[in-house]
A and B are shown apart, each in its own frame.
Chain A
């Protein structure tokens, strides 16, 4: 990779060093202090025409600001000052080469200033495109072949051997492997194992699985080590005969979360009181419960983390209707009085569940299995679910805004501009009856490219087929990801 600037810049650096660039950059490109911002705001005008643009540049030889509409070129020609800096991004133009040139040393200075600027403004570091370091660049040069994910190849797909009624596990593994953000994490080799032995770490095992799925091999994989690891660390999954895909999913997330934390220092573990392991970053949301006393209208609010949402299927015919009912205020009858801390007495109350924070992957569990003392049965009622889902109506902030809006009229709801759109990327289905059933999964490999995973058998599927299926576990991925902006 050629980022050694040009001969003219190198001569300039040899004579004057990088200080001129540093000063221009710190004051007029990425302002690293309040004072610098003041200078930039008040003085970035073309010295020739007094206009703020177009495209302001500063001469690198002397402090001279001019626009790119001709005045910076004039200055350069008349003074023979051939290098000038673009004030939006800090790139250097060489008038002798007649092009912008890129120098690694200056790029590094710019990156440091950007970080300082963000810190001085109290915002998170802005997006910077990835630059390979020396070793990475060497590796990229040595290995020229690039494997791409395409809708026409089996790269990223792999059948999974049934190990004796282990379809519940195969479905969940297919779902995890096809979770976009989890895939990015593992293929970028972000897991740095700190545990004593990586053979005992489930996260390492999943990391290996990703390599296997993307290796191009076609034979089914045998997940015996994975099953052993999960059973070892989730003993309550009492043997394979009673396995439920939902239970296995939750147990797997739990073991992964625990193993992510292995060997991690306590201080690194939590950010703002929240675990920041990859599992929690992707799967954890916050469920808000508001209990309102009917006597004094006092509200007791609790927020609990969740990994999935279990929904009743008897009655409503769509996922949205299920969610509507899940987040509806419910009157707790006289038989269920709760002690109100305000009244200091047991009172009747209403309770409402809403989603306080949404996870990146929203997992829904349709409660198709009913177990009671009288009867065990499976509810096969059709519940429609969309390919694209907007979660805004089920958010705590939206509910609050609706309530406030009803009372005070025309109040701008808080969080109105949040994008809470989700798209479906995996569906786990249970086929057959309660005691003799089989699990299969539909997964989305790329947008619009769906596959049916039935143990070792992977076949193409259409979105229609997916949406027409019964649905037991539904997995949605946030459509638009925002950069986290934590002020610290």
Chain B
């Protein structure tokens, strides 16, 4: 075959030395450069043409493009009184009900967040409500009636319309009464009070189960200064994985299965630091911990290290 004669005429070595010989001449190098550029340019252009030709010839372009949907129903409204959908800027938020994914009760949408906070046992006082609910272990709506009267902060159940009046009053009261509620919660449940202004508390008054639950969802490292534990996430940037591991081993009895689960395989409770990065600030503080020994409990938002604060 002709192909074989061509390739056997010149060995790869011959080709290489010939190439260098020819390229010694600057004119040849310029000519070769132009040739290569033209080749590449032609190749790329040809590729685009083939793609276009293929689309038209096979009907693929027509298939993909289809028919443009009528735009008229979705046209942006361009007036100063309305938003893009044509809703009046003056009108108040239209309210609707949604079903709470936690308790499956209908809740007014505009009051959903405060409801959910309490329903999940996250806000002030709500840990008490939540633990009672868990204790009563009943999903029947009737059991909520008791809770409702138990905690008059719970104004968000979208009950019957007859309750509306009472609800409004409650919202009002609720706002006025906030400072009072604090000591109410603290007197009985101080150790579980998740007040974010404080952000920390101690293990001493907690049961094993409470400790276990807490350590499943929060960092839990005890501060040297305040002797309180950190209530931020299991990936809180203020503390290291080592510190978290240590506190899990010391807080939970070393022999219990929980401690093994939590202390030895922290990946179960949280994602490993290398696989799930957090903000840049957290990584720099993690590093700082590595360089300098004693970690300090700092205020929540001070974790963000910037050049000026890097001491």
Which A residues are within 8 Å of any B CB, using their own CB?
1-3, 38-39, 42-43, 45, 47, 53-55, 63, 86, 88-89, 91, 99-102, 129, 131-132, 137, 140-141, 143-148, 150, 152-155, 157, 159, 161-166, 216, 218-220, 222, 224-225, 227-229, 231-232, 234-236, 238-242, 244, 246, 250-251, 254, 257-258, 261, 269-270, 273, 275, 280, 284, 287, 289, 291, 302, 304-312, 314-315, 325-326, 328, 330, 332-333, 335-336, 338-339, 351, 353, 365, 367, 369-373, 451, 455-460
B291 neighbours in A (Cβ, 8 Å): 291, 338-339
Known: A148-B69, A258-B271. A333 touches B123 (CB 8 A): no
The CA-CA distance from A310 to B309 in the complex, in Å, is 12
A308 near B280: Cβ-Cβ < 8 Å = yes
> What distance in Å separates the Cβ of A355 from its nearest Cβ neighbour in chain B?
9
Is the beta-carbon distance between B233 and A39 smaller than 8 angstroms? no
Chain A residues contacting B300 (CB-CB under 8 Å) are 371
Contact with B1, one of A63, A164, A326, A451 (Cβ below 8 angstroms): A63
Known: A161-B96, A251-B233. A42 touches B84 (CB 8 A): no
Given the interface pairs A145-B66, A270-B275, the reply to whether A325 lies near B100 with Cβ below 8 Å is no
| Chain B residue at smallest Cβ distance from A158 | B85
Q: Which residues of B contact A (CB under 8 A)?
A: 1-3, 6-7, 10, 12, 15, 39, 42-43, 46-47, 50-51, 53-54, 57-60, 63-69, 71, 73-76, 78, 83-87, 89, 93-94, 96, 98-102, 107, 109-117, 120, 122-124, 126, 156, 194, 196, 217-219, 231-233, 235-236, 271, 274-284, 286-287, 290-292, 299-302, 304-311
Asked if A457 contacts B87 (CB within 8 A), the reply is yes
Q: Do B275 and A239 have beta carbons less than 8 Å apart?
A: no
Would you call A224 and B109 a contact (CB within 8 A)? yes
- Contact check, B71 vs A161: say whether CB atoms are below 8 A apart: no
CA distance A162 to B93 in the complex (A): 8
A455 CA to B110 CA, complexed, in Å: 11
The reply to whether B310 and A330 contact each other, CB–CB distance below 8 Å, is yes
Chain A residues whose CB sits within 8 angstroms of the CB of B57 once the complex forms? 2, 99-102
**Residue pair B311, A326 in contact (C-beta under 8 Å):** no
Given A224-B112, A239-B194, A305-B283, verify A153-B307 contact (CB < 8 Å).
no
> A residues within 8 A CB of B286?
304
Offer 26 A-B interface pairs, CB within 8 angstroms, sorted by A: A2-B57, A39-B3, A88-B46, A89-B50, A129-B54, A144-B67, A154-B74, A157-B84, A164-B110, A164-B113, A166-B113, A224-B112, A236-B236, A238-B122, A239-B194, A257-B271, A291-B291, A305-B274, A305-B276, A333-B311, A336-B292, A353-B280, A371-B299, A372-B299, A455-B93, A458-B83
